[in-house]
Structure 1
Amino acid sequence: MDRWLKTGSVKRKAEETSNVSDEVNIESQGRPSLQQDLAQHSGTSCAKVKRKYHSDYIKFGFFWTGDAEDPKPHCVLCYDILANEAMKPAKLKRHLETKHKDYICKPVAFFERKCEELERHMRKEATHFFVPGENAKATEASYKVSLLIAKAGKPHSIGETLVKPAAKVMANIILGEKASDELTLSNDTVQRRITSMAENVQDQLVTRLRQSHLFSLQLDESTDIGNEAILLCFVRYIHAGAVVDDFLFCQSLPTNTTGEAIFESLNTFIVQNNIDWKRCVGVCTDGAAAMTAKHKGLVARVRAVAPSAASTHCCIHREQLASL
């Protein structure tokens, strides 16, 4: 009897379990499964978050640039542009502490002034390249082609005699005749484009020099193929926590390349671009008297305005003297 009751109860439980499972299967039809719900939820949570700029971030030396919906932090000290994911106080502070240690204790007003300088610089660049009334895309294409001509060292006239006719043929075939009439690559236009790009590069270099606490110069006098004396000047400075070497300028000199004439050419460039002479800590030259003379040489004159500047004899000139 007990055995029969136990057997009967087991059967009833099995039937109830079967009925419950059938109900579950019926209810589950027509709606996503639990795994599908989890997959959809995880897909929603993994969507990329666009971080917004907050005015408090200026205390870390950062403004923003780019699209307002996807802003990117823009450092007002080194002009570096970071990804949108870096728009966090901790990451912006780490950038300031690792790359600009000397500016950690600066007040907010200092960074606001730097921000204004950055905005003026960006507006200047925008108006420097694009002239109102010109086709923006055609102007951009003209600049890029002019840059290629300059890098290749070709005559400026090649833009009008070869590049533009070839571009018109390709544009007529691919885009139509109207598109080929926008591009301007005359001799004067190419020269003007190259000059404006050179001025822009110089402005960027001068801006970096003004921001660098220290810099050093390397100078040499040479003669070009026209037998004209020229002064070549290179600069080494600190930018974004790294030591950078750049070509500073190339200028003509009078026939008598004395220490006074060389210093006058160098000093004119430094003064006109508002670069602080006191930040100059080194001058590298050859051993010529015009450069190293004790009283009237270039080094002596530089030390008069930059007392901390150390003189270095160029190692390449030393090797040449040793080989003679």
Structure 2
Amino acid sequence: MSNSKLRKVDSENRAFKSEWEHDYFFILNKDHKPQCLVCFQVLAVLKEYNLKRHYMTNHKQKFGKHSCESRKVVCNQLKKKLFQQKSLFTNETKQQEEALLASYFVTYELMKAKKALSDGELIKNCAIKMAEAFNENKVGNKFQTVPLSKQTVTRRLEDISNQISNNVKDIIANCSYFSIALDESTDVSDTNQLLIFVRAIKEDFTIFEELLKVAVEEFGGFEKLSSIVTDGAKSMTGTISGFVGFLRQNQITVPTLHCITHQEALCAKSIKLSTTMATVTKITNLIRRGNQSLRKFLTLLEEMDSAYGNLLLHTEVRW
């Protein structure tokens, strides 16, 4: 049995010859494969025999009558046609990618502004009208290609949400330590709402903060948990049925702190600022008591370019 190795085409270092362009109407494409300029077929092997056989079998009857100079002219025309088709396909693909990216941008802005998902179509129509007002018909045609229907925006919203969740998972999985802040409240329909904020410290000591909307177990468990900040409610700090109590029952013991806002409220009471707070509250209630006095005060704030546009009503923090 022979021990000779099989010949490999890649090891033969075949080169494409320029005369093959007008002899057989072939060029070398971006993958270094011979491609026919007439039917666009790509051959697997860069070999003159294969190119010639393809030309003689498929295109000799049509182009065999052309002379040498005439073949060069035809070859240049075919090359130009091929490049135009490739350019058109590339531009079309690029425009589709840009329209897709624009759709995600609009969806993200709708999310931040807490607007209805159906507003995407309104934004699209407004953008088209603005392009028409500036006599930018090409830009308006591009806006027409942006998909912003309610169903499309819903899918974009799900994609963005999944991407954010995956990013948070990766950060928590690769961080050194993380801490969470919990805040439980009720909305206008008396439905309990639990907010979970996470702060992670990476190996390069950069800090990442994000709001979690699902259980922490989905993001890798509590092995790297270093501290917990709560709002002080019994459902959070209770030793039996509270969140901290459940952790301790599962042998997870970490420092537990109160929310810094509530700490400030306790600090204000401990250093005897109750008199000052009472005076400020009295002035605030006096201004907000009547519509006329409130309007005058708001006008004053506007004239002074104040950083705050209104007064907040005082609410006592209960413990």
Q: Give the TM-score of the pair, scaled to structure 1.
A: 0.47
Kindly indicate whether structure 1 or structure 2 has the higher relative contact order, using CA contacts under 8 Å at least 6 residues apart: 1
Q: Give the TM-score of the pair, scaled to structure 2.
A: 0.48
